[in-house]
Amino acid sequence: QAVVTQEPSLTVSPGGTVTLTCGSSTGAVTSGHYPYWFQQKPGQAPRTLIYDTTNKHSWTPARFSGSLLGGKAALTLSGAQPEDEAEYYCSLSYSGTRVFGGGTRLTVL
Protein backbone atom coordinates (compact mmCIF):
# COMPACT_ATOMS: atom_id res chain seq x y z
CA GLN A 1 0.00 0.00 0.00
CA ALA A 2 1.20 3.48 -0.84
CA VAL A 3 2.42 5.79 1.89
CA VAL A 4 1.38 9.44 1.88
CA THR A 5 3.78 11.80 3.57
CA GLN A 6 3.20 15.18 5.19
CA GLU A 7 5.32 17.47 7.32
CA PRO A 8 4.69 16.53 10.96
CA SER A 9 4.53 20.14 12.05
CA LEU A 10 4.86 23.66 10.73
CA THR A 11 4.68 27.11 12.28
CA VAL A 12 3.48 30.29 10.63
CA SER A 13 3.26 33.84 11.91
CA PRO A 14 -0.09 35.59 11.95
CA GLY A 15 -0.60 37.13 8.53
CA GLY A 16 2.14 34.98 7.06
CA THR A 17 2.15 32.38 4.31
CA VAL A 18 2.85 28.68 4.65
CA THR A 19 2.72 25.73 2.27
CA LEU A 20 1.90 22.23 3.43
CA THR A 21 2.81 19.37 1.11
CA CYS A 22 1.53 15.88 0.43
CA GLY A 23 3.84 13.35 -1.18
CA SER A 24 3.43 9.81 -2.42
CA SER A 25 5.74 6.84 -1.99
CA THR A 26 4.83 5.74 -5.53
CA GLY A 27 6.22 8.85 -7.21
CA ALA A 28 4.94 12.23 -8.25
CA VAL A 29 1.48 13.26 -7.16
CA THR A 30 -0.72 14.16 -10.11
CA SER A 31 -4.26 15.35 -10.57
CA GLY A 32 -5.13 11.69 -11.11
CA HIS A 33 -4.60 11.16 -7.37
CA TYR A 34 -7.52 13.54 -6.76
CA PRO A 35 -5.90 15.19 -3.73
CA TYR A 36 -8.16 16.27 -0.91
CA TRP A 37 -7.21 18.46 2.04
CA PHE A 38 -8.95 18.42 5.42
CA GLN A 39 -8.73 20.55 8.52
CA GLN A 40 -9.32 19.16 11.99
CA LYS A 41 -9.35 21.16 15.20
CA PRO A 42 -9.04 19.49 18.61
CA GLY A 43 -12.21 17.73 19.66
CA GLN A 44 -13.93 18.38 16.34
CA ALA A 45 -14.73 16.36 13.27
CA PRO A 46 -12.60 17.04 10.21
CA ARG A 47 -13.90 19.29 7.49
CA THR A 48 -13.02 19.33 3.83
CA LEU A 49 -11.06 22.33 2.56
CA ILE A 50 -9.91 21.39 -0.94
CA TYR A 51 -10.88 18.60 -3.33
CA ASP A 52 -9.50 17.36 -6.63
CA THR A 53 -6.25 19.31 -6.23
CA THR A 54 -7.55 22.89 -6.45
CA ASN A 55 -11.31 23.00 -5.93
CA LYS A 56 -12.74 24.74 -2.91
CA HIS A 57 -15.91 24.10 -1.00
CA SER A 58 -18.32 27.02 -0.90
CA TRP A 59 -17.24 27.88 2.65
CA THR A 60 -13.49 27.36 2.24
CA PRO A 61 -11.80 30.64 3.17
CA ALA A 62 -10.19 32.35 0.20
CA ARG A 63 -6.82 32.35 1.97
CA PHE A 64 -6.55 28.58 1.40
CA SER A 65 -5.54 27.28 -2.02
CA GLY A 66 -4.53 23.92 -3.44
CA SER A 67 -2.01 23.09 -6.15
CA LEU A 68 0.60 20.65 -7.40
CA LEU A 69 4.11 21.70 -6.50
CA GLY A 70 7.36 19.87 -7.14
CA GLY A 71 5.71 16.48 -7.55
CA LYS A 72 3.52 16.88 -4.50
CA ALA A 73 0.09 18.17 -3.71
CA ALA A 74 0.26 21.44 -1.82
CA LEU A 75 -2.01 23.46 0.43
CA THR A 76 -1.03 27.11 0.71
CA LEU A 77 -2.35 29.36 3.43
CA SER A 78 -1.85 33.04 2.67
CA GLY A 79 -2.54 35.45 5.50
CA ALA A 80 -2.72 32.99 8.38
CA GLN A 81 -5.25 33.67 11.10
CA PRO A 82 -5.17 32.37 14.69
CA GLU A 83 -8.22 30.22 13.92
CA ASP A 84 -6.21 28.36 11.27
CA GLU A 85 -4.23 26.57 13.97
CA ALA A 86 -5.22 22.95 13.45
CA GLU A 87 -4.19 19.55 12.12
CA TYR A 88 -4.27 19.30 8.34
CA TYR A 89 -4.60 16.01 6.49
CA CYS A 90 -4.28 15.21 2.83
CA SER A 91 -5.73 12.18 1.09
CA LEU A 92 -4.78 10.65 -2.26
CA SER A 93 -6.60 8.17 -4.48
CA TYR A 94 -4.83 5.03 -5.71
CA SER A 95 -6.86 3.03 -8.21
CA GLY A 96 -10.05 3.73 -6.33
CA THR A 97 -8.75 3.31 -2.80
CA ARG A 98 -7.82 6.26 -0.61
CA VAL A 99 -4.84 6.82 1.65
CA PHE A 100 -4.49 9.60 4.21
CA GLY A 101 -1.25 11.26 5.15
CA GLY A 102 -0.17 11.37 8.76
CA GLY A 103 -1.22 14.99 9.16
CA THR A 104 0.56 18.31 9.68
CA ARG A 105 0.11 20.16 12.93
CA LEU A 106 0.03 23.84 12.01
CA THR A 107 0.80 26.36 14.70
CA VAL A 108 0.04 30.05 14.19
CA LEU A 109 2.47 31.89 16.40
Partner 1 sequence: EVQLVESGGGSVQPGGSLRLSCAASGFTFSSYYMYWVRQAPGKGLVWVSHINGDGSNTKYADSVKGRFTISRDNAKNTLYLQMNSLRAEDTAVYYCASSCRDGTCPGWGQGILVTVSS
Nearest distance from C-beta of residue 17 to partner 1, angstroms: 24
Choose between 8 and 70: whose C-beta lies nearer to partner 1.
Answer: 8
Between CA 9 and CA 29 the distance in angstroms is 21
Considering the rule CB under 8 A, would residue 41 count as an interface residue with partner 1? no
Considering the rule CB under 8 A, would residue 97 count as an interface residue with partner 1? yes
Considering the rule CB under 8 A, would residue 101 count as an interface residue with partner 1? yes
Binding site for partner 1 (CB under 8 A): 1, 36, 38, 40, 45-48, 51-52, 55-58, 87, 89, 91, 96-103
